């Protein structure tokens, strides 16, 4: 069974993989189906890892929208043919940098 720390590291790794291709910009994202698929897949991994976190960890960091993260994963998995790519890009651009900083802070506070 994976521990919360491992799941948080999984989320950070997925964010970094998304950011690698997001750096090419929105136009490239819009034009490249492979990048879209890459990003969606890694957002799904983020949601899966978040869903597996203990309730204790989620409650300790209520400022992180855990349920929204898991809900986005569920939408991407179960409504795959109705994915709203502008909404995905919005998350990449606005939500993931904030989440990355929050997770890095969580992990740093664990080692203090």
Segment 4-52, tens digit of pLDDT: 999 999 999 999 999 999 999 999 999 999 999 999 999 999 999 999 9
Question: Which 3 state secondary structure label does DSSP give 81?
Answer: helix
Active-site positions? Answer: 73
Q: What pLDDT is attached to residue 96?
A: 98
Residue 65 sits at φ, ψ, to 5 deg, of -80, 70
Q: What share of the chain is helix, strand, coil (3-state, %, to 5)?
A: 85, 0, 15
Number of domains in the chain: 1
Average pLDDT of the segment spanning 62-73: 96
Q: At what angle do helices 33-51 and 66-78 cross, to 10 degrees?
A: 130
Q: What pLDDT is attached to residue 6?
A: 96
Domain, as residue range, for 29: 4-111
Cα torsion 35, 99, 10, 4 to 10°: value is -160
Q: What pLDDT is attached to residue 13?
A: 98
Of the candidates 65, 68, 10, 67, which has an alpha carbon nearest to the alpha carbon of residue 42? 10
Decide if 5 contacts 110 (C-beta within 8 A).
yes
């Amino acid at each position: 069974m994976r521990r919360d720390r491992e799941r948080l590291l999984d989320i950070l790794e997925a964010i970094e993989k998304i950011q690698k291709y997001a750096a090419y910009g929105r136009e490239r994202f819009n034009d490249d189906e492979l990048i879209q698929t890459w990003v969606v897949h890694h957002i799904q991994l983020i949601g899966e890892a978040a869903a597996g976190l203990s309730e204790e960890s989620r409650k300790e960091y209520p400022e992180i929208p855990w349920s929204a993260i898991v809900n986005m994963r569920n939408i991407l998995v179960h409504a795959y043919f109705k994915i709203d790519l502008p909404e995905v890009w919005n998350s990449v651009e606005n939500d993931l940098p904030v989440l990355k900083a929050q997770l890095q802070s969580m992990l740093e506070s664990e080692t203090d």
